[in-house]
Amino acid sequence: MLDGRKINVGVLGATGTVGQRFISLLAEHPFFVIHALGASPRSAGKHYAKAVNWKQVRPIPSQVREIIVHECKPEHFLECEVVFSGLDADVAGDIEASFRLAELAVFSNAKNFRRDPNVPLIVPLVNPTHLSMIRQQRALHSPPLKKGFIVTNANCSTTGAVVPLAVLEKAFGPLESCIITTMQAISGAGYPGLPSFDILDNVVPYISGEEEKIEWETLKILGGIVDDDEGQKVFDMHSRQPLRVSASCNRVPVIEGHTECVSVRFARRPPPSPQQVREALQGYTSDVYTMGCPSAPRHTIFVHEEADRPQPRLDRDYQAGAGVCVGRVRQCRVLDIKFVVLANNVAIGAATSSIINAEYAAIKGEI
């Protein structure tokens, strides 16, 4: 694929929940090699094993235990070609911008640059071709860049929903409206997350900013890239066929795995039948899998026939959480079709998406 070439990578926010998942996934990667780790000043100077409160199922990978953690400054990462960011949004913006300025390729899980008009927002199972926007991003940067860029992946709850939505649009034409109700795992709030007193025996019907993210990000991801009147590339935000998205987000006492109830209406009439929808979802293969990205799942969407699936505890780790699961596909008496989606929020909803985005960029020669 890359003629045996290895690519040095760094991880920012390496001691956090998403950073730990990056390290777990990258430890066995066929061509990405963990070379540098960054975290807060209180962790800097320590061996990784001493700096981290490890919360993954598998032990800390042996090759990173003795790596010295640095502050998140570009000078410590200059031997890397790729940097993965699991930083909190409170600090991610300026740090990621400084790494881009230092001519590093940054693949971010943070929200800070998702709305930037020159930064692609990529769910790799859906819209990897939006990577083409990085050339304009480099050219319009002041000063212009040769290698540095930022690519973001979507919010974890957006990711789960847009995968089946994109497949349905590809198979049956544009969607007109969509209602999404989420039941989101506590790991989406990071560690230590919500106090047990707040979440045990409870459902919290509000997650700050989450509904707005789903409603806006879905349009950028499912939309295309067009030329404006000045000849620059712009994201069209699904403007060729306006799509209305309404989201309601809830935090539930589940550790990992976001469950979402989705109802859609198609622009074309008559709409597809539930069986046609099942067949389209089951038959879809992502471009990143076809191109050979090693972290891409064989089954982009696994469609359950059982009436009570998918379930977080049973299905979140299928294919290492790299795909999505769909079940209960049926007719909607208000819109057209409704179904349930499950996505692993710390895998395809976070670290796995960033890693597949970087694999795709490497294969396309952008790294």
Catalytic residue among 130, 258, 304, 325: 258
Cβ atoms of 65 and 37 closer than 8 Å: no
- Rounded CA gap, 85 and 32, in Å? 15
Q: Check if 29 is active-site.
A: no
Q: Check if 249 is active-site.
A: no
Catalytic residue among 156, 178, 293, 325: 156
Amino acid at residue number 266? F
Helix (H, G, I), strand (E, B) or coil at 39: strand
Q: What residues are annotated to the active site?
A: 156, 258
